[in-house]
Amino acid sequence: MGTGMRYLAQGIVYTVFAVAIYIFSIGPTYTHLESDKAMIKLSFAHATKPKGECKVLTREELAKLAPNMRRPKICPRERMKAYVELELDGKPTYQSVLLPTGFHSDGAVRVYERVPVPAGKHTITVRMRDTARENGFDYEVTREVDMVPGQNFAIDFNAPKGGFIFE
Partner 1 sequence: MALLKFILRYVFMTIEGWFDKIFTVRWNPFYYLGALGYFYFWVVAATGVYLFIFMDTGLTEAYESVEYMTHDQWYLAGVMRSLHRYASDAMVVMVMMHLVREFAYDKYRGGRWFSWVTGVPMIWLVFASGVTGYWLVWDQLAQYIAIATTEWLDWLPIFGEPIARNFISPSHLDDRFFTLMIFIHIALPLILLFIMWFHLQRINYSKVNPVRGLAVGTMLMLLVLSFIEPAVSHAPADLSVVPASLNLDWYFLWAFPLIEWTSEGAIWGFAFVGTIFLIIIPWLPPRPKEAVAVVNLDNCNGCTRCAVDCPFNAISMVRRSDDAPFAQEAKVDPDMCVSCGICVGSCPTATPFRRRGELVPGIELPDLTVVQLREMAEKASVKLEGSERIIAFGCKHAIDPENLGQKNLGSVMMPCVAMLPPSFVDFVLSRDLADGVVLTGCRDGECHYRLGAQWMDERVAGDRDPRLRKRVPRERLLKVWAAPTDRNMLAQEIATFADQLGNLEKPIESPAQNQTDPVVLDTDNAKETV
| Least CB distance to partner 1 at residue 50 (A) | 17
Strands 37-46 and 82-88, by their bridges, are unpaired
Angle at 159 between CA 72 and CA 74, to 5 degrees: 15
Closest CB to partner 1 among 62 and 106? 106
Closest CB to partner 1 among 87 and 156? 156
Closest CB to partner 1 among 21 and 69? 21
| Least CB distance to partner 1 at residue 165 (A) | 9
| Least CB distance to partner 1 at residue 135 (A) | 29
Note the Cα 86 to chain centre separation in Å.
Answer: 13
Residue 149 corresponds to which amino acid?
P
Task: State the residues that interact with partner 1 by CB under 8 A.
Answer: 1, 6, 9-10, 13-15, 17-18, 20-22, 24-35, 38-39, 41, 43-45, 101, 107-108, 110, 112, 149-152, 154, 156, 167
CB atoms within 10 A of CB 82: 24
SS3 of residue 26 by DSSP: helix
Contact of 115 with 165, CB cutoff 8 Å: no
| Least CB distance to partner 1 at residue 145 (A) | 13
Element (H, E) at 15: helix 3-26
Closest CB to partner 1 among 76 and 107? 107
